Amino acid sequence: MKRICIIGGCGHVGIPLGLAFASKGFEVTLVDLNPEAVASINGGKLPFKEEGADALLRAHVGRNLHATADAGAVAGQDVVVFVTGTPVDEHLNPKIHDVLKVVSAYLPVLNPEQLIVLRSTIFPGVTRIVEHLLREKLGGARLAFCPERIVQGKGIEEIFSLPQLVSGIDAQSEEMAATLFAAIAPRIIRLSCEEAELAKLMTNAWRYLEFAIANQFYMMVEKQGLDFYRILNAMKADYPRAEHFAGAGLAAGPCLFKDTMQLSAFHNNEFFLGHSAMLVNEGLPNFLVSQLEKKMGSLRGRRIGVLGLAFKADNDDTRESLSFKVIKCLETKMAVVLRSDAHVPGTMPLDTFMTACEGIILGVPHSEYRSLKPTVPYVDCWNVWPRCCAVEL
């Protein structure tokens, strides 16, 4: 199994995986419909930030790794990895058809001897549905679900350091997948397909709930004019049971909210903790705007800046970032919204931004912002800037 093809391979899930396998001597083909991303990879340039990936790309592109938009490249591969996950629609229902549509599109170039690996988060039961599809169209199937569990931006490091969950539709598929991932993962943990599907969703939902608890406490405390982080630091000081208590922050990105809603759908929309977490986390932007309004009075016509548009610190990915919800909330207050992000091209330069703003909401705590000393009213739920520097008007 030395020839690996990754469908959707030029994205945040595919590139770290492809580079990891290439570094172990596999022949890797990244198939992607985005011509700009394909050209970027073949030109030796990453389309987004990923620690450790630049050196690996330079070492392997044009040698044992290349990108293409040609679906025909799938034929003749030993392993075909699909990184298409299950999204949710506007009603928060899983869109299972999106995964099946991608797999179906490649059926003409697949064969029953290839190991097919589903990699991104999928709704429980989808692996078995794909199995049925493959057996019906190809006459057989070797299929595994091996979810990624990496933190965005640190995928290379975590692929090599974290255990890999492996499941297969039968013993042969499971063994093939375990052998494959043993080349890059320090440990293989075997589960049934259904167990692996749920393990991925439950991991992300657990993280989402963690942030919701912190955000609920933050809003509860700050609304009373008290300092949440002063209390949090006291709770955690030399007290091991509170060591991992999260701080407040905008819980965003393409996975946590979506996967919590998938888990809810799986449980017949009776995942009440998940729904409550959604209300808390999605309500934080409104709370931040209201806190700034308390400091400044009416925001109508005021130049209010949102600093940081990415969904997490020191990253350039803006997918599902709650900074954009903050912006919408400000617009309903008829504020003039300014935007700046050190990692997102096309936004206002930081020095111009800091001079132009009459008020600031910190959207994401990039490293570049930690040394700033705002001289206008601000709201910082991340505890990056000293509370004493906040200007009350």
* 222 and 316, same domain (yes or no): yes
* 228 and 113, same domain (yes or no): no
Mean per-residue pLDDT for 109-133?
95
* 182 and 223, same domain (yes or no): no
* 217 and 265, same domain (yes or no): yes
CA 178, 181, 185, 191 torsion-angle sign? negative
- Structure token pair of residue 111: 């064969």
Query: Of 175, 194, 213, at which residue does a domain stop?
Result: 194
Q: Which domain holds residue 303?
A: 204-389
Q: How confident is the model at residue 287 (pLDDT cuts 50, 70, 90)?
A: very high
Query: Of 164, 194, 224, at which residue does a domain stop?
Result: 194
Type of residue at 155: G
Residues 6+ apart with CB under 8 A from 168: 142, 143, 144, 145, 174, 175, 176, 177, 193
Type of residue at 64: N
- Separation CA 326–CA 233 (nearest Å): 27
Tokens 């297969």, residue? Answer: 168
Q: Read off the pLDDT of residues 314-361 as tens digits, 9 standing for 90 and up.
A: 999 999 999 999 999 999 999 999 999 999 999 999 999 999 999 999
Tally Cβ neighbours within 10 Å of residue 159.
Answer: 22
What is the bridge-based pairing of β-strands 115-118 and 142-145?
Answer: parallel
- Separation CA 257–CA 285 (nearest Å): 15
Q: How confident is the model at residue 45 (pLDDT cuts 50, 70, 90)?
A: very high
* 158 and 244, same domain (yes or no): no
CATH classification of the domain holding 71: 3.40.50.720
The answer, yes or no, to whether residue 384 has pLDDT greater than 60, is yes
Whether the pTM exceeds 0.85: the reply is yes
Residues 6+ apart with CB under 8 A from 181: 146, 164, 166, 188
Type of residue at 272: F
> What are the φ/ψ torsions at residue 71 (nearest 5 degrees)?
-65, -25
